[in-house]
Structure 1
């Protein structure tokens, strides 16, 4: 087995040495390739210079070919000279490149100038031909002289560009030769360095086995000490060492994953225990609320029947206001008896509040002004916690106007601003002290003992917190001393209450 392992290790090292040799040879070939590319580039520069000179030479020959036909045409009115002249002009136009291409090279700009001069020459030549046809002797005579001057100027320009191009070519060629010699030297140095590098790699492979094994032993010691946060071991070594490192990483990650799963399971169990405790607290609070509700009903059926008897008696005695008062009281009491659910349609809450408003108008005809601003289209579309409006209004009646003179105003409004259904009870009373507001808006735990005013404002707020434990702004109180109070219940219609019975 040891002989087999030694064979595999030796084979892996031999493979790496083979790849290193290929790598060195590749670099050497690249160096020779660079030299070849530079040689071809030098040839391209020479070819380009020759093409430029050839194009200018062809233009010069064509311009030279125009001079004799134009002299013959102007002197003898020869039709064959005119045909040769027009043919040569068209040939020159075909040779000229596109002058719309934007360039910024100096030599190209000089050639572009020559092209424009030739264009001007051809245009002026056509004008001279037209003046000859029109027998304008002074005109075509002067035009011919101008053409001759322009011809000489173009010839000088072509010679100037050729000379500059030749000088530029000599400079480029000299620079290129210097670069070529430098690259030859660098290539030779690179080859020597590659050979030295290959030899150093051979020596380096001695450490490719001992160093990884040493690192593996250190990491194993850390794992035995319980440290699983270290990064995975990664070696660029022979295959056998890489396989050992990969197996070591898998073992470390598996143990770490198992420990993390145990921690997650423990966290889940703690969360489930907390949820169970919360459910028990909810059940206890529900039972307590049911007890308070039963205590507050005070034999409701007997009281309801007694109120109906009072209504009948008032009708017999023709006491209409008393009858209205008793009917509204009976309607309000009927609502209180009927609503056994925690959530009711908004219309039920509205009808109960309207009956309560009618009772208040009879009780306080001159000292209390009541406003009910509700969009009735909302009443059949939404639900709300039962018995929230009347207790808040009753709290305002009992406490908001104790020391205030004049007429007090209580305004109730219901609006829908997606996704919030906003129920507002606003008064212009004496206001609530900030300390009291803070106490009212503090959610109470299951150990909190409800006061005797269990069906009042405090109870409404705590029930809202109970139904919407994750909505911190389900109740808002905006109050200023001496100016009034605005109590707002924000029901998020996209969030289900924790209890919907």
Structure 2
């Protein structure tokens, strides 16, 4: 009990206050509901006579239409209204001394006469007794006017009676409201005094704790221990504060030691990061230095054959383009180049391919060069993809092989695509190519250029999951798609 005294006190004080308030509000609500029910019953009687009067008024329209047109729909509507009025009129009407009730009883008999008169008019209409039903209709109109006047008198008398009753009810309700308001004020004041005692028993010790904590934050650790003879929870807080004060000094010493150790660790970590950056640069240069020697050997062999069988002018042109391509591939060892420079190198490469494959290879460039100014891409990224298609896509095929290169910029994404209509790739090979490799991975000899491009894309943009994709279908070709977010800086310093 003592260990939870704060909670118990709060619950007890709040419960007492809430019970008093709820009882007072419940009493007010009960009286309000009672008065509402009385008023509802009174107005329900008045509403009843208003409905009867409305139905009587509705009878006039169908009756006139039936008398003039002999309409069957009007007769049906008329009979329905008559039956509705009969159901609303009480069949038993005992005699009482209440004047208001006697007026209502008289209205009931008048309505009975009205309904009987309507039935008589219907029978006269069916018997085609024109003069009789016209006289009856005129008498019915006078009876309707009299009934309406009587209903108004009943409503007026009922309203006056209700007005007197409501005055008594309102006076009673007003007295009850004053009493309950006084009860709520007393209950609220009582609860407020209890809560203030509880708050003071908590805030006074906490104020002293905050003052000592401020001195402790200034570096004063020789403060006396705190002891409070109040609520148990506050005493536990004081004990925890005393323990904290004694432990802070030891913690400061430990923090100093940890700070020195962390400084050493950070120094070692910086050294390791520099080593890792150096390894990454070495890996990048290694990937860029990889070239497929088959293309170089085949190209030189073609140049020799041309020198033998053709004139020296064509051989000179071929060798000039070959030299220009070699110069482009090895210039500056830049990691990134403008997209226009990459396209120039690709065009030189294709010019040489046309000599080797004049009738079996076609290159289609789908490029919007007007939007490529100021846009960079990794160096040597398109030529290896075209070379991979030339070497592997058209094996065991006949006819002209088509390679389509697409370059487009849709801010902020630069899309580079190389698509061929060759034999396609095996799904297992595609999965192996798209996997991220470790530093010591050795690329396969058949797709070394493509694998080099994929791993360089992963290296430059490690946070972009869709930087490269391969779409292939057996017998229909392969498409390699590279997406570069031009707003994202590559992971290495250019």
Deviation at 1:422, TM superposition (A): 0.4
Q: Could you say if the C-alpha distance between residues 400 and 190 of structure 1 is closer, same or farther in structure 2, counting changes exceeding 3 Å?
A: closer
1:428 to 397, 421, 429: 421
Partners of 1:355 and 1:493 in 2: how far apart? Answer: 26
Could you say what secondary structure the match of 1:415 adopts?
Answer: strand
* 1:273-284 equivalences in 2 (<5 Å): 277=272, 280-284=275-279
- 1:215 partnered with 2:210: no
2:318 alignment partner in structure 1: 325
SS across alignment from 2:364 = strand
Matched residue of 1:497: which SS? coil
Matches of 2:420 and 2:264, distance apart in 1: 49
* Aligned counterpart in structure 2 of residue 167 of structure 1, from 157, 161, 184: 161
Note closer, same or farther for the CA distance 1:400–1:266 as it changes in structure 2 (3 Å cut).
farther
Q: Call closer, same or farther: CA 1:459–1:189 in 2, change over 3 Å.
A: closer
* Distance change (3 Å), C-alpha of 1:433 and 1:223: farther
Contact 1:427 1:485 in 2 (8 A): yes
Q: For residues 322 and 160 of structure 1, do their structure 2 counterparts lie closer, same or farther at Cα, with a shift above 3 Å needed? A: same
| Alpha-carbon shift at residue 458 of structure 1 (Å) | 0.8
Distance 2:476 2:428 in 1: 17
Secondary structure of the corresponding residue to residue 456 of structure 1 = helix
Q: Return the TM-score normalized by structure 1.
A: 0.51
1:376/1:499 Cα in 2 relative to 1: closer, same or farther (>3 Å)? same
Report the CA distance shift for 1:405/1:344 in structure 2 as closer, same or farther (over 3 A): same
Which residue number in structure 2 is paired with residue 285 of structure 1? 280
CA distance in 2, matches of 1:201, 1:359: 94
Give yes or no for contact 2:423–2:474 (8 Å, CA) kept in 1.
yes
Contact 2:287/2:456 (8 A) holds in 1 = no
Match for residue 348 of structure 1?
341
Deviation at 1:410, TM superposition (A): 1.1
Deviation (angstroms), 1:326: 2.4
Which residue, out of 453, 461, 465, partners 2:454? 461
Deviation at 1:168, TM superposition (A): 3.1
In the superposition, relative to structure 1, how do residues 360 and 205 fare at CA in structure 2: closer, same or farther (>3 Å)? closer
Of 313, 338, 356, the residue aligned with 2:331 is 338
| TM-score in terms of structure 2 length | 0.51
| Structure 1 residue aligned with 2:430 | 437
Does the CA contact (< 8 Å) of 2:229 and 2:235 recur in 1?
Answer: no
**1:177 maps to what in 2?**
171
1:135-163 C-alpha deviation (Å, 9 max, x unpaired): xxxxxxxxxxxxxxxxx999999987764
Contact 1:464 1:475 in 2 (8 A): yes
CA 1:288–1:207 in structure 2 vs 1: closer, same or farther (change >3 Å)? closer
Partner of 1:366 in structure 2?
359
* Unaligned stretches of 5+ residues in structure 1: 1-22, 35-151, 227-247
Give the Cα separation in 2 of the matches to 1:202 and 1:372: 84
Question: Which residue is equivalent to 1:489?
Answer: 482
1:96-149 residue CA offsets vs partner (Å, 9 max, x unmatched): xxxxxxxxxxxxxxxxxxxxxxxxxxxxxxxxxxxxxxxxxxxxxxxxxxxxxx
- List per-residue Cα deviations over 1:330-376 (Å, max 9, x = no partner): 22112113252101111111111111111212211232222122122
Change (3 A) 1:401 1:265: farther
SS at match of 2:278: helix
**Which segment drifts farther, 160-169 or 282-291?**
160-169
Q: How big is the shift at 1:282?
A: 3.5
Counterpart-to-counterpart distance in 2, 1:153 and 1:338: 114
State the alpha-carbon separation in 2 of the partners of residues 373 and 463 from structure 1: 24
Residue-pair matches, total: 324
**In structure 2, what is the Cα distance between the partners aligned to 1:157 and 1:267?**
99
